[in-house]
């Protein structure tokens, strides 16, 4: 009886195992026909997400362009200040206009604003310094020392707009210098695809806008100048003048030669892109090499006293304990 029961259990176990195996095999074979195609859905989702991000970044770039228009009208208050102080002659100062363009300010509005600010800042800083020194601090110093402090503050107020302008120029050039090799690579790809230089610059401006709005603005302005200027060479020269970078000037020279002699542009762009990348790497290596000397003074002032205190303090405590 026990042997028969064991035999029946063994046969039942084999049948169940065979049934499970057959069912699993059928399920594995037929699973691709019953499962949904997730790859197509995921690719469609990625494509829609990419398009949504592109539209969002392009809308943000257009909003920034509307906020920073190329031509800004001067405010009435600043214009009255310029007229009252008889600063109209400085409106035609080519060096001031050139520096404002390097900082990204174009048109008569920024020039009027800068001149009015430079005229008002010394007076405002002098009044603030006078109130602070004579009424708030009430320094117990001779009168000529107090007046010297107020005059020094007024002098700083006169040169503060120049300092701000130079700082803005340096930051803008640094941003363009970092993104310029990437822009050259994109321009090279567009040119090798058969696009014209205007279409290539427009495409590069759209793609580089999320990384560097300053460079996108300059390339867009160059595209517009190529459309309406009779001399295309002038549009390229304006690009080099507005940026003030040697790398941009080299590319401008190649573009002018290609326009004049009909030489192929792709090879020169490839070489210039590699040179600009090498220059960027060289600048990074120079900064890295200059880091140890710059860290010497902070280490002497901050790290070494703490280190000496940690080393000497246990010995001092032991000596004091022995006594």
State yes or no: pLDDT of 227 exceeds 70: yes
Q: Residue 3 falls within a domain, yes or no?
A: no
Over residues 206-227, the mean pLDDT reads: 87
Q: What is the pLDDT of residue 53?
A: 63
Q: Residue 27 falls within a domain, yes or no?
A: no
State yes or no: pLDDT of 169 exceeds 90: yes
DSSP state, 88?
G
Q: What percent of the chain is modeled with pLDDT above 70?
A: 76
Over residues 96-117, the mean pLDDT reads: 84
Q: What is the pLDDT of residues 9-26, one digit of tens each?
A: 666 777 777 778 777 777
State yes or no: pLDDT of 42 exceeds 60: no
State yes or no: pLDDT of 67 exceeds 50: no
Q: What is the pLDDT of residue 306?
A: 84
Q: What is the pLDDT of residue 1?
A: 46
Q: Are residues 162 and 191 in the same domain?
A: no
Q: Are residues 280 and 191 in the same domain?
A: yes
Q: Are residues 80 and 101 in the same domain?
A: yes
Q: Residue 218 falls within a domain, yes or no?
A: yes
pLDDT: which is higher, 243 or 48: 243
Label residue 232 by pLDDT band (50, 70, 90): confident
Q: What is the pLDDT of residue 68?
A: 44
Q: Are residues 148 and 207 in the same domain?
A: no
- Picking from 131, 153, 171, the residue at the C-terminal end of a domain is 171
Q: What is the pLDDT of residue 164?
A: 92
Between CA 218 and CA 180 the distance in angstroms is 11
State yes or no: pLDDT of 213 exceeds 50: yes
Q: Residue 122 falls within a domain, yes or no?
A: yes
| Beta carbons of 125 and 156 less than 8 angstroms apart | yes
Label residue 93 by pLDDT band (50, 70, 90): low
Q: Are residues 196 and 256 in the same domain?
A: yes
188: containing domain: 174-289
Distances (CA, A) of 318 to 32, 307, 323: 78, 18, 9
Mean of pLDDT over the chain: 79
Between CA 291 and CA 103 the distance in angstroms is 29
Q: Are residues 137 and 96 in the same domain?
A: yes
| Beta carbons of 139 and 133 less than 8 angstroms apart | yes
Domains identified in the chain, total number = 2
Between CA 79 and CA 71 the distance in angstroms is 16
Over residues 240-247, the mean pLDDT reads: 87
Q: Are residues 274 and 182 in the same domain?
A: yes
- What lies within 8 Å, CB to CB, of 266 at 6+ separation is 188, 191, 192
Between CA 207 and CA 274 the distance in angstroms is 20
Q: Residue 305 falls within a domain, yes or no?
A: no
Q: Residue 71 falls within a domain, yes or no?
A: no
Over residues 49-75, the mean pLDDT reads: 58
Q: Are residues 202 and 278 in the same domain?
A: yes
Over residues 293-315, the mean pLDDT reads: 84
State yes or no: pLDDT of 168 exceeds 90: yes
Q: Are residues 232 and 151 in the same domain?
A: no
Q: Residue 258 falls within a domain, yes or no?
A: yes
Least reliable range by pLDDT among 59-73, 140-154, 209-223, 298-312: 59-73
Q: Residue 229 falls within a domain, yes or no?
A: yes
Least reliable range by pLDDT among 30-34, 250-254, 281-285, 292-296: 30-34
Least reliable range by pLDDT among 55-64, 95-104, 279-288, 305-314: 55-64
State yes or no: pLDDT of 265 exceeds 70: yes
């Amino acid at each position: 009886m026990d042997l028969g029961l064991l035999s029946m259990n063994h046969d039942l176990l084999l049948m169940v195992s065979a049934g499970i195996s057959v069912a699993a095999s059928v399920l594995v074979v037929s699973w691709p026909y019953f499962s949904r195609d997730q790859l197509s859905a995921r690719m469609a989702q990625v494509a829609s997400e990419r398009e949504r991000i592109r539209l969002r970044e392009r809308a943000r770039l257009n909003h920034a362009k509307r906020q920073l228009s190329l031509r800004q009208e001067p405010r009435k208050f600043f214009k009255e200040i310029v007229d009252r102080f008889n600063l109209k002659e400085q409106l035609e100062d080519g060096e001031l206009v050139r520096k404002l363009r390097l900082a990204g300010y174009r048109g008569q509005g920024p020039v009027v604003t800068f001149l009015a600010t430079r005229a008002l800042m010394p007076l405002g800083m002098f009044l603030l310094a006078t109130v602070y020194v004579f009424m708030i601090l009430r320094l117990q110093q001779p009168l000529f020392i107090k007046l010297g402090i107020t005059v020094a503050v007024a002098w700083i107020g006169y040169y503060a707009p120049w300092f701000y302008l130079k700082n803005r120029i340096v930051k803008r050039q640094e941003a363009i210098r970092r993104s310029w090799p990437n822009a050259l690579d994109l321009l090279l790809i567009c040119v090798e695809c058969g696009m014209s230089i205007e279409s290539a610059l427009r495409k590069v401006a759209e793609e580089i806008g999320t990384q560097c709005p300053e460079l996108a603005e300059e390339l867009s302005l160059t595209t517009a100048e190529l459309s309406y200027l009779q001399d295309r060479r002038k549009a390229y020269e304006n690009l080099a003048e507005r940026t003030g970078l040697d790398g941009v000037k080299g590319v401008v020279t190649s573009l002018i030669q290609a326009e004049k002699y009909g030489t192929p542009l792709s090879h020169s762009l490839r070489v210039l892109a590699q040179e600009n990348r090498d220059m960027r790497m060289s600048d990074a290596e120079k900064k890295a090499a200059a880091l140890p000397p710059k860290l010497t003074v902070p280490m002497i002032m901050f790290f070494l006293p703490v280190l000496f205190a940690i080393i000497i303090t246990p010995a001092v405590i032991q000596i004091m304990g022995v006594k």
